[in-house]
Structure 1
Amino acid sequence: MPKRFALALLLAITALLTSWQHASAADRPNLIFLLTDDQRWDALGCMGNPVIKTPNIDRLAKEGVVFENAFATTAICATSRASFITGQYARRHGIVDFRAVLSPEAFAQTFPAVLKANGYQTAFIGKWGVGNKLPADEYDYWKGFAGQGKYFVDGRAHMTKYLEGQTLEFLDTCTPEQPFCLQVSFKAAHCQDGPGWQFQHAEKYTDYYADDTIVAAETANDEHYQKLPKQLQGGESRVRWERRFDGDQMLQKNVKDYYRLLTGVDDFVGAMVAKLEEKKLADNTVIVFTSDHGFFLGEHGLAGKWLMYEESIRIPMIVFDPRLPKDQRGQRREELVLSIDVAPTLLTLAGIEPPSVMQGESLTSLVDGTPDSPWRTEFLYEHLFPHKTIPQSEGVRDTRWKYVFYPQSEPTLEQLFDLQEDPHEVTNLADDAQHAEKLKAMRGQLEQMRTSLQ
């Protein structure tokens, strides 16, 4: 082959590959998945909270799509985070304690692995939280850490600000030529475990909310604690309540500190979006914002999460897609959406068919307002984590009713709530003869879902 012809052929092939790379990058959005820790659904200004200030996240909500009824399928860190990346219920992915890890075969079917296999640059920053082995080699950019981490480490910025620096560093490496998927998993607003200062915010936020008065929830008192079944009293949820919410003075300080941590996350979002704009990446970057599960702020005389009460399992969920037409922005959807929906959503946004092992549903048809089939009207909740003082539980929640079963409680405990008539879940109807048929039906629903979703 003449050298001149060979050179021309090489240049033509290079041009073709370059044009394909540019086309594919333009067709495939960048993806950012922001996961806070212990953030209940109403701890955002855009969700109606009258105290907390979250203007940057509120802006994503105003220009994106808000899901009013989003839930974690399990309310404990490791299990929930595994559900987010696998798109699977705990029964299938098997992460039900702090030590278990995803096998290489299982990890290969997570959304970050599938995206990487399909040409995405992948990055993870923050709290990994799934097992005791970090998958650093599975990402192109890795700044994850094991365990809970600490908000303050000598000589380093507050944890949230530290993650911000790593995020901006990564975004500085990004170009329009290759799409990226960035996961940021915050420690905020998780407490610093143990006694002492619980919600350790940066000094910058010390005076935030100082003039506000936190109104305690309707059930955040001893009267409602005493109404709980005996099997749910005491234990870790009550121990943590004693550290955080025992009396109004303690409640005021700790709820405000909790909000201060989340305002720090909001500032992170502002800095991240500004960097996207600086890098001219903002118009092709989809941002999904959510939390691993909810959190009690004293409701029912409890702290923590774990149990199937709304405060524990309901989460924020915002999908911001700058490519949406203006008339589709600012939607507030009422459908039941789940933590396991995030993985198939991210893959669908990238134009990739989700693996069949995923059990969630892509939210893209809801985001663009064109659902092509009836959406779910119920979901399975499962808390299979073994713990001496936190009862295991399973349940079904639909658009009106909630059924909870505690398989290891003595005596066996069931709860049935009519969420329409009893939104604070105070009156257990499981022993009410008038609701015997409903109880039987929901027992059957739980058994059917247990079997079909394994």
Structure 2
Amino acid sequence: MMNMFFTGRLILPLGLFAFSSQLHARGGERPNVIFILADDYGWNDLSCMGSKYYETPNLDRLAKHGVKFTNAYAACQVSSPSRASIMTGKYTPRHGITDWIGEKSGEAWRTMERHNKLLPADYTWNLPAEEYTLAECLRDNGYTTFIAGKWHLGEKGSWPEDHGFEINKGGWTNGSPKGGYFVPYQNPKLSDGPAGENLSMRLSNETVDFMREHKKRNKKKPFFAYLSFYAVHGPIQTTQENWNYFRNKAEKAGIKENGFVVDRTLPVRQTQDNPVYAGLIKQMDDAIGVVLDAVEEMGLDENTLIVFTSDNGGVTSGDAYSSSLLPLRGGKGRQWEGGIRVPLLMQYPGCTAGVVCDVPVIGTDFYPTILDFAGLSAVPEQHRDGVSLMPVVRDGKTPDRSLFWHYPHYGNQGGEPSSIIRRGDWKLIYYYEDQRCELYNLAMDISESEPLNIQYPEKVRELKTLLDAWLIEVDAKLPVADSEYNPLKEAQVKLTWRTAVLQKQEKLRKQMLSPDWKPNKDWWGSMVTID
């Protein structure tokens, strides 16, 4: 693995990263933690990660004042498993949630009429009660725990308040915003605000209100605020003002004739020029700015860790076909880098501003990192698949480990049942349909354009052996052959994806960029949803 930290083009010597020895300054208070999680937000869907189209001044501010990780990963290419791994510190096969909760598996998969070769593995539909979550651990160590936004880790009885959160504003069963991004929200854990209120801003305001009330009532007690946006999950929505601004921006940059290519299964977006999605990002970034401003105004920046990341890669195919993550291949639901690599920003007292970290890290690391930052004892029997990132950013220590993923399912974004290992710059994907491996070197080919199996057969064997051992260790459930598999019917489905769906997406892209486009008469209720 790379053992490098740099700001701009300057490589900084290890140890230069001053980690404040005054974590318990201000009268020995434990530090606060604000964890901001976006939904389906891509690796380069923000300005500080290279986007020239989306505008994220507040996330850029966080990157400027903190640490930006370029090799950060979600624990899964879809939502629920990744979120469960953040809460538990475990890889997905250990907690059992390997697909987004609500998706069909086993023989029920046949009702999707995709006629696939395999039946996806069954999975757990509720975050197990025996898991000692990050929220429970912090609560038990004197923290007030708060969530605003998406949960998607089970039915009632397995909601945030059942797993350590004392205050819950908006977290429940659903993984997408049932009522959209404007009132009415149709959320049993979040009352409706005034007409025109935006969901992302509402969740930020709830978080700020919590911080103000907490400071007033519990001056010495720390808090854990989990701001979990529903944005930028579909259905994508924005205001007419935002749409018009980003439509004009796309036009000035030059609108390409074609915006999609078919990659193995579904059409994949190749351009960042979706004005509705850009407006949705702006709404989320504006809301993040409200929280960052409040942190500074209340003086909490002197004693608060702020983390921002995403639960999986951005949506390039399926759902709303929202974005392009080039040079990364694929997106949400897929096994390539676009599906699992995510943005990660961290700001904390004493960190060196504007640092870029290339060390590969993963969502299971947050649990031990936060405990380490808070000065709390580790719980290794719980967060067994994570390591603290504080030695990484403090001392430049690179963990000697492999990273793993297991997704024994078909994704509605084109993903295939597979397991993955990354070790150093090498990445191996194993496909369950045909027992095939793909080997890539991410330092040489970040786009995963050409497998290196023939050139490096010994590396394939090495990584496959490590992956097999890990699958046994975690008792991973595997997909099984479907006895009713019909290859002709499957071919017909894929032909439709490559022709009719491709044509539909190209048409919609042009319509959304047309000056007279209107999704419906009521922009507050405007929805863009695609089959």
TM bucket normalised to smaller: 0.7 to 0.9
Task: Report whether the alignment pairs 1:447 with 2:468.
Answer: yes
Instruction: Give the match's secondary structure for 1:172.
Output: helix
2:134 corresponds to: 111
Distance 1:62 1:383, change over 3 A: same
Distance 1:425 1:184, change over 3 A: same
CA-to-aligned-CA distance 1:333-378 (integer Å, 9 cap, x gap): 111111111111111111112311211011111222353xx41353
Q: 1:166 is matched with which residue?
A: 206
| 1:314 counterpart = 2:341 | yes
1:95-114 alpha-carbon deviations (Å, 9 max, x no partner): 124151123221xx211110
Normalised by the length of structure 1, the TM-score is: 0.79
Deviations 1:101-143 (A, max 9, x none): 123221xx21111000000000011010112231325322111
Q: Distance in 1 between matches of 2:458 and 2:331?
A: 33
SS at match of 2:35: strand
Superposed displacement of residue 265, structure 1: 1.7
Please tell me whether residue 201 in structure 1 is matched to residue 225 in structure 2: no
Matched, 1:286 2:278: no
SS at match of 1:125: strand
Q: 1:318/1:304 Cα in 2 relative to 1: closer, same or farther (>3 Å)?
A: closer
Say which is worse superposed, 45-54 or 312-321, in terms of deviation. 45-54
Alpha-carbon distance change, 152 to 415 in structure 1, aligned in 2, over 3 angstroms: same
Aligned to 2:182: 152
The corresponding residue for 2:220 is 177
* 55, 58, 74: which one aligns with 2:57: 55
Counterpart Cα distance in 2 of 1:406 and 1:303: 16
1:349 corresponds in structure 2 to 373
Q: Amino acid of the residue matched to residue 117 of structure 1?
A: D
Gaps of 5+ in 1: 1-21, 193-198
Q: Which of 82, 86, 101 is equivalent to 2:84?
A: 82
Q: How does 1:230-245 map to 2 (within 5 A)?
A: 233=265, 237-238=266-267, 245=269
SS in 2 for 1:208: helix
Letter of the 2:395 partner, please give it. G
**2:199 & 2:133 partners in 1: Cα distance?**
27
Stretches of structure 2 that go unaligned for 5 or more consecutive residues are 1-23, 103-124, 185-194, 317-322, 476-531
Alignment of 1:224-303 (within 5 A): 225=263, 228=264, 233=265, 237-238=266-267, 245=269, 254=274, 256-295=275-314, 296=316, 297=323
Task: Verify the 8 A CA contact 2:86 2:367 in the aligned structure 1.
Answer: yes
Q: How many equivalent pairs are there?
A: 395
Separation in structure 2 between the aligned mates of residue 42 and residue 308 of structure 1, nearest angstrom? 17
Q: 1:123 aligns with which of 133, 138, 146?
A: 146
Distance in 2, matches of 1:381 and 1:292, equals 14
**Residues 178, 208 of structure 1: CA spacing in aligned structure 2 closer, same or farther, 3 A cutoff?**
farther
Q: How does 1:32-43 map to 2 (within 5 A)?
A: 32-43=34-45
| Alpha carbons 1:158, 1:202 under 8 Å: kept | no
Q: Mark the CA change 1:353 to 1:215 in structure 2 (over 3 Å): closer, same or farther.
A: farther
Quote the residue 1:412 is aligned against.
435
Summarize the Cα distance change of 1:202–1:384 in structure 2 as closer, same or farther, 3 Å threshold. farther
Cα contact 2:32–2:305 (8 A) shared by 1: yes
RMSD: 2.8
Q: By how many angstroms is 1:252 displaced? A: 6.0
Report % sequence identity: 31
Q: Is the 8 A contact 1:31 1:285 kept in 2?
A: yes
**Counterpart in 2 of 1:6?**
none
Matching of residues 322-333 of structure 1 within 5 Å: 323-324=349-350, 328-333=352-357
| Contact in 2 for aligned 1:122/1:139 (Cα 8 Å) | yes
Find out whether 1:210 has 2:250 as its counterpart.
no
CA distance in 2, matches of 1:42, 1:158: 24
Please state how far the C-alpha of 1:191 moved relative to its aligned partner: 1.6
* Offset of residue 420 of structure 1: 3.2
Q: Secondary structure at the match of 1:439?
A: helix
Query: Shift of the alpha carbon at 1:406?
Result: 1.6
* Contact 2:88–2:367 (CA under 8 A) maintained in structure 1: yes
CA distance in 2, matches of 1:449, 1:216: 46
Secondary structure of 2:377's aligned partner: coil
Q: Which moved more, 1:361-370 or 1:115-124?
A: 361-370
1:451 to 1:165, Cα distance in 2 relative to 1, 3 A: same
Contact kept? 1:156, 1:162, Cα under 8 Å: no
Amino acid at match of 2:423: D
* Closer, same or farther: CA 220–363 of 1 in aligned 2, 3 Å: farther
Instruction: After TM superposition, give the deviation of residue 404 of structure 1 in Å.
Output: 0.7
* Structure ranking higher in helix proportion: 1
- CA distance 1:399–1:201, shift in 2 (3 Å): farther
- Segment drifting more, 127-136 vs 291-300: 291-300
